[in-house]
Chain A
Amino acid sequence: MTGFPILSLMLAIPAVAAVACLFSSANNARWIALCATLIDLALGIWLWASFDQGAGAAQWQFVEHVRLFGVGGVDFAWALGIDGFALMLIMLSVFLMPICVGASWTAIEKRVPEYMAAFLATEILMIGTFAAQDLLLFYVFFEGGLIPMFLIIGIWGGANRVYASYKFFLYTLIGSLLMLIAMIAMILNSGTASIPELMSHDFPVNWQTWLWLAFFASFAVKMPMWPFHTWLPDAHVQAPTAGSVILAGVLLKLGGYGFLRFSLPMFPEASAQFMNLVFVLSCVAVVYTSLVALVQSDMKKLIAYSSVAHMAIVTMGLFAFNHQGIEGAMMVMLGHGLVSGALFLCVGVIYDRLHTREIDRYGGLAINMPRYALLFMLFTMASVGLPGTSNFVGEFLGLMGVYKVSTWAALIGTSGIILGAAYMLYLYRRVVFGDLTKEDVRAMPDLNAREIWLLAPIAAAVLWMGVYPESFLKPMRPDVERLVERMSRAAPAGDSQPTAGKPAPAGEHHGATAAEDHQAPAAAHGEAH
Chain B
Amino acid sequence: MSYSTQLMMVLPELVLSLGAILLMLVAAWGGQQATKLVSWAAIAVLIGAGIALAGPASAGGEAFGGLYRPDMFGAVAKAMIFFAAAVSILIAPRFFQTSSGDDLRPEYPVLILLSAAGMGMMVSAGDLMSLYVGLELQSLAAYVLASFMRRDTRSAEAGLKYFVLGSLASGILLYGISLVYGFSGTTLFAGIADAYAGERSMGLLFGLVFVFAGLAFKISAVPFHMWTPDVYEGAPTPVTAFFASAPKVAAVALATRVAIEAMGPAIADWRQIVIFAALASIIFGAVAAIGQTNIKRLLAYSSINNVGFALIGLAAGGEAGVSSVLYYMAIYVVMTLGSFLVVLQMRGADGQPIESIASLAGMSRTRPGLALALAIFMFSLAGIPPLLGFFAKLQVFVAAVDSGLFVFAAVGAAASAIGAYYYLKIVKTMYFDEPAPAFAGKTDPVEGVLLVLAAAVISPLGWPLLGYLEVFTASAAKALF
Contacts and interface: CB of A to CB of B under 8 A. Distances in A.
B398 to A, nearest CB: 3
A71 B385 contact: no
Interface in A143-160: 143-144, 146-147, 150-151, 154-155
Interface core residue of A76, A144, A180 (most chain B CB under 10 Å):
A180
Nearest to A157: B432
A500 interface: no
B414 interface: yes
A70 B470 contact: yes
Interface core residue of B398, B406, B420 (most chain A CB under 10 Å):
B398
A139 B385 contact: yes
A522 interface: no
B367 interface: no
Contact of B417 (A155, A174, A210): A174
Contacts of B320: 72-73
Interface stretch (A181-189, A312-320, A374-382): A181-189
Contacts of B394: 71-72, 136, 180, 184
Nearest to A140: B385
Contacts of A169: 420, 424
Interface in B384-420: 384-386, 390-391, 394-395, 397-399, 401-402, 406, 409-410, 413-414, 416-417, 420
Determine the main DSSP class of A at the interface with B: helix
A154 B467 contact: no
Given A72-B324, A140-B385, A174-B417, A161 B432 contact: yes
A498 B303 CA distance: 62
Given A68-B463, A72-B320, A178 B431 contact: no
A188 B401 contact: yes
Contacts of A154: 428, 431-432
Contacts of A70: 467, 470
A76 B409 CA distance: 20
A177 B401 contact: no
Given A72-B398, A136-B394, A174-B417, A184 B467 contact: no
Contact of B406 (A111, A144, A185): A185
A170 B427 CA distance: 14
B11 to A, nearest CB: 31
B163 interface: no
Contacts of A136: 394
B206 interface: no
Contacts of A294: none
A313 B324 CA distance: 43
A174 B420 CA distance: 10
B64 interface: no
Interface residues of B, number: 37
Interface in B371-387: 379, 384-386
A210 B401 CA distance: 14
B420 A173 contact: yes
A162 interface: yes
B431 A180 contact: no
Contacts of B364: 114
Interface string B442-479: 00000000000000000000011011001000000000
B40 interface: no
B432 A177 contact: no
A73 B424 contact: no
A169 B210 CA distance: 41
A71 B396 CA distance: 10
A169 B364 CA distance: 20
A72 B402 contact: yes
A181 B413 contact: yes
B142 to A, nearest CB: 32
Contacts of B421: 166, 170
Contact of B397 (A147, A173, A184): A184
Contacts, number: 106
Nearest to A142: B385
Interface core residue of B323, B401, B410 (most chain A CB under 10 Å):
B401
Interface in A341-400: none
Interface string A283-318: 000000000000000000000000000000000000
B385 A173 contact: no
A468 interface: no
Given A72-B402, A74-B398, A188-B402, A181 B384 contact: no
A453 interface: no
B417 A150 contact: no
B473 to A, nearest CB: 10
Contact of B398 (A139, A150, A188): A188
A71 B417 contact: no
Given A69-B467, A162-B432, A170-B421, A143 B397 contact: no
A22 to B, nearest CB: 8
Contacts of A147: 379, 384
Contacts of A72: 320, 323-324, 394-395, 398-399, 402
A72 B424 CA distance: 28
B385 A144 contact: yes
A170 B249 CA distance: 30
B420 A170 contact: yes
Contacts of A68: 463-464, 466-467
A174 to B, nearest CB: 4
A143 B384 contact: yes
A184 B409 CA distance: 10
Given A74-B398, A184-B394, A143 B414 contact: no
A140 B401 contact: no
Contacts of B365: 111
A279 B467 CA distance: 45
A177 B413 contact: yes
Contacts of A210: 406
Contacts of A155: 431-432
Interface core residue of B365, B410, B413 (most chain A CB under 10 Å):
B413
A187 B401 CA distance: 10
A184 B401 contact: yes
B463 to A, nearest CB: 6
Interface core residue of A140, A162, A187 (most chain B CB under 10 Å):
A140
Interface core residue of A140, A141, A177 (most chain B CB under 10 Å):
A177
Contacts of B386: 140-141, 144
B461 to A, nearest CB: 11
Contacts of A150: 424, 427
B467 A180 contact: no
B466 A151 contact: no
A170 B324 CA distance: 26
Contacts of B406: 181, 185, 210
A444 B157 CA distance: 66
A149 to B, nearest CB: 12
A136 B385 CA distance: 10
A369 B427 CA distance: 42
Contacts of B424: 150, 166, 169-170
B431 A151 contact: yes
Contacts of A173: 384, 417, 420
Interface string B47-80: 0000000000000000000000000000000000
Contacts of B384: 143-144, 146-147, 173
Contacts of A73: 320, 398, 402
Interface string B346-363: 000000000000000000
Given A184-B394, A214-B410, 5 more contacts: A69-B466, A72-B402, A165-B428, A170-B417, A173-B420
7 contacts: A73-B402, A143-B390, A144-B384, A170-B417, A170-B421, A180-B413, A184-B401
List 3 tightest A-B contacts by C-beta distance, closest first.
Answer: A72-B398, A69-B467, A140-B385
Interface of B: 320, 323-324, 364-365, 379, 384-386, 390-391, 394-395, 397-399, 401-402, 406, 409-410, 413-414, 416-417, 420-421, 424, 427-428, 431-432, 463-464, 466-467, 470
Interface of A: 68-74, 76, 111, 114, 136, 139-141, 143-144, 146-147, 150-151, 154-155, 161-162, 165-166, 169-170, 173-174, 177-178, 180-181, 184-185, 187-188, 210, 214
